[in-house]
């Protein structure tokens, strides 16, 4: 379980000649009672790992679509404790790795050690904390290591080479390559420098490199996956879930996995 499980699953996908596809969804958007059902949907339709966002009142990395989903979830009473409780209750009924995306304030309010323990008990495999800098991560990394949780780092195109090398060296599970300069959200196209950036990260990282932010079509997934190990799709998935367009999500996943195939 935990970090070892996440890394094994992703390596098996790549060894089978597939690219990795990770959907992002906001926990509690649509109600916490549909969380297990949505996890099962992604598991049955070819997702490799699910990134599960914890709604927060000040989501600095999120664009409008995910911010609105967070507001809807918060209005329904969603919080970190409630999400982890449901994940713990349902952990024996899923096999797909789960990665929690949350900000540092909810973790500090919860208690760092208690958070890591609860994640382990809930069958969570990894954690992403977008507003925690590398210089400050010692406040949580020992607890995550103790409870076998992959600490997934984010890399930005604006960072100097030396910092990217260090982030890649530290990242566990996978390295989250932010493919835009800005917040999450659908983009018509990505910056021309993203190709070189992803290729460089691949040379620095011992774990798979996944491109996220601004990926909303199978075509974009194909283009980015040519230079890394797969993609994370957030805002588009959140939008389609809210609109109940599950068939479009299926087509997006299938198209992205085919587009990224190494065969």
Q: Which domains does the chain have, with CATH numbers?
A: 3-259 (3.20.20.70)
Residues belonging to the active site? 51, 62
The answer on pLDDT for 193 being more than 90 is no
pLDDT value of residue 62 = 65
SS (H, E, C) 178-233: ECCCCCCCCCCCCCCCHHHHHHHHHHHCCCCEEEECCCCCHHHHHHHHCCCCEEEE
Q: Under 8 Å CB-to-CB from 186, ≥6 apart: which residues?
A: 65, 214, 216, 235, 236
Chain-wide mean pLDDT for the chain? 90
User: What pairs with residue 100 in β-bridges?
Assistant: 52, 127
Average pLDDT value for residue range 7-32: 95
Which pair of tokens denotes residue 16?
A: 């089978």
Cα distance between residue 234 and residue 157, in whole Å: 19
| Residue 184 confidence (pLDDT) above 50 | no
User: In the predicted model, is pLDDT for residue 255 greater than 90?
Assistant: no
Beta bridge partners of 52: 25, 100
Residue 146 exposure: Cα atoms within 13 Å on the Cβ side: 13
pLDDT grade for 192, boundaries at 50, 70 and 90: low
pTM: 0.91
Q: Which whole-number Å values give the CA distances from 180 to 161, 186, 193, in the listed order?
A: 17, 10, 10
Calculate what percentage of the chain has a pLDDT beyond 70: 90
The mean per-residue pLDDT over the stretch 66-83 comes to: 91
pLDDT beyond 60 at 237: yes
On the question of pLDDT at 261 being above 50, the answer is no
Distances (CA, A) of 109 to 113, 197, 238: 11, 35, 26
Residue of 216 and 72 predicted with greater confidence: 72
The pLDDT of 9-13, averaged and rounded, is: 96
In this predicted structure, what is the pLDDT of residue 186? 42
Asked whether the beta carbons of 191 and 223 are under 8 A apart, the reply is: no
Q: How confident is the model at residue 185 (pLDDT cuts 50, 70, 90)?
A: very low
Instruction: Give 125-173 pLDDT, tens digit per residue.
Output: 999 999 999 999 999 999 999 999 999 999 999 999 999 999 999 999 9
The confidence score (pLDDT) of residue 191 equals 53
Identify the pLDDT of residue 222.
Answer: 84
Q: Average pLDDT for residues 237-251, to the nearest whole number?
A: 94
């Amino acid at each position: 379980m935990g970090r070892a499980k996440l890394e094994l699953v992703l390596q098996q996908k790549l060894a089978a000649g597939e690219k990795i596809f990770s959907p992002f969804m906001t926990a509690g958007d649509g109600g916490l009672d549909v969380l297990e059902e949505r996890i099962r949907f992604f598991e049955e339709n070819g997702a490799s790992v699910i990134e599960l966002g914890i709604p927060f009142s000040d989501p600095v990395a999120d664009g409008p679509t995910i911010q609105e989903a967070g507001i809807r979830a918060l209005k329904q009473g969603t919080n970190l404790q409630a999400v982890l409780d449901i994940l713990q209750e349902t952990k024996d009924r899923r096999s797909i790795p789960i990665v929690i995306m949350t900000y540092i304030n909810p973790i500090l309010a919860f208690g760092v050690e208690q958070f890591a323990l609860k994640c382990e008990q809930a069958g969570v495999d990894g954690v992403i904390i977008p507003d925690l800098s590398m210089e400050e991560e010692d406040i949580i990394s020992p607890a995550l290591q103790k409870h076998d949780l992959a600490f997934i780092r984010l890399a930005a195109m604006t960072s100097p080479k030396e910092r990217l090398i260090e982030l890649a060296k530290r990242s566990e599970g996978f390295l989250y390559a932010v493919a835009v300069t800005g917040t999450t959200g659908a983009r018509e196209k990505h910056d021309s420098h993203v190709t070189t950036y992803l290729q460089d990260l691949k040379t620095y990282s011992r774990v798979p490199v996944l491109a996220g932010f601004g990926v909303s079509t199978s075509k974009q997934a194909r283009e980015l996956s040519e230079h890394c190990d797969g993609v994370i799709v957030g805002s588009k998935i959140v939008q389609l879930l809210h609109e109940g367009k599950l068939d479009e999500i299926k087509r997006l996943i299938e198209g992205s996995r085919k587009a990224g195939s190494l065969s």
